[in-house]
Amino acid sequence: MSRAPTLLFCLASLAPAALVAADATGTDDRLALSANGGSLTGTNGGGGGSLAWLHNFDADTLAGLAVEHQSLGPAQWTFGSVSGALTRGAPDARYTLAGEVHQGGGRDAGRNFHYGIEALDLSATYSRHLTLLLEDRQIDVERTHGNLPKAGLSYLWTPHLQTSYSYAYSFGGNLDTRLSSARVDVFTAPVNLILGGGWGRAAGWVLGCGCTQPTTRFREGYAGLGKTLPNRSDLTLIGDYQDLGGSHRITVTLNYIVHLGTRS
């Protein structure tokens, strides 16, 4: 799977859900905070955090602003983000156009570098169960650059079970990436469960590991727990294991989202 840094992944996952999370007036504001730490073979590990503001102008229009800082081994980078999503259609055929821009910079082994990632995706949900996704992501970070198109689908089997699969295949530049990913979400009253994994080959920056290592074999497994709290907030804890051609990366991420104001 295309593994951008923490907040990219959170915002991309949040967009469809956030559009249906607004109150009866269609407006809603949320603050999203994230913190992570982890290890990578041959380095002293690293960590980071992010802060984002998400706003529903109405039930079908979402925008977000964010800032994120990450470090791993000798590399550290900071970037700002702008994201948005617009949904249209009938209840049994909903179409969402979403985009995100991430710009910033960092330093790796004494060298400054530019950080830029942009993405545009179109998703369609039919009969409230089947969702199809098409995405194109442009990556220009340090010496890594190119396009990473992705196609995916998810199916809500019951109100308590959803499965997803996606495949990304790069072209142009030097990404040389072929990634598959699968995920299972289980929704229950006490907690929501997340299980997933990815496999294929990818360059280091595609995986968000803060390095310019050559394209390598990639395997991943992750699991998480999510819970809605009484104060109108959501807490998610995710553990992620990656095998990058023999180097092993373990990351633990805590995400907290709180609704602002009083819902009608």
Q: Is residue 73 a part of any domain in this protein? A: yes
Helices marked H in 117-244:
none
- The band of 1, judged by pLDDT with boundaries at 50, 70 and 90, is very low
Domain count, the chain: 1
Give CA–CA dist 122/150, Å, rounded: 11
Give CA–CA dist 29/25, Å, rounded: 12
In terms of phi and psi (left: phi > 0; alpha: psi -120 to 50; beta: otherwise), the region of 253 is beta
Which tens digits make up the pLDDT trace of 214-253? 667 889 999 999 999 988 899 999 999 999 888 899 999 9
Q: Is residue 72 a part of any domain in this protein? A: yes
Which tens digits make up the pLDDT trace of 112-158? 999 999 999 999 999 999 999 999 999 999 888 899 999 999 999 99
Helices marked H in the chain:
6-19
Which tens digits make up the pLDDT trace of 73-113? 888 999 999 999 999 999 899 999 999 999 999 998 889 99
Q: Is residue 166 a part of any domain in this protein? A: yes
Backbone CA torsion sign across 60, 66, 71, 76:
positive
Q: Is residue 223 a part of any domain in this protein? A: yes
- Residue 261's pLDDT is 67
* Predicted model pTM: 0.86
Q: Is residue 138 a part of any domain in this protein? A: yes
Q: Determine the residue type at 97.
A: L
Q: Is residue 264 a part of any domain in this protein? A: no
CATH number of the domain where residue 70 is located: 2.40.160.40
Extended strands (E) in 59-213: 61-72, 75-90, 93-108, 111-126, 130-141, 144-158, 161-169, 178-187, 192-202
CB-based contacts of 16: which residues, under 8 Å, 6+ apart?
Answer: 85, 96, 123, 125, 131
Q: Is residue 1 a part of any domain in this protein? A: no
Give the residue numbers spanning the domain of 59.
6-259
Q: Is residue 41 a part of any domain in this protein? A: yes
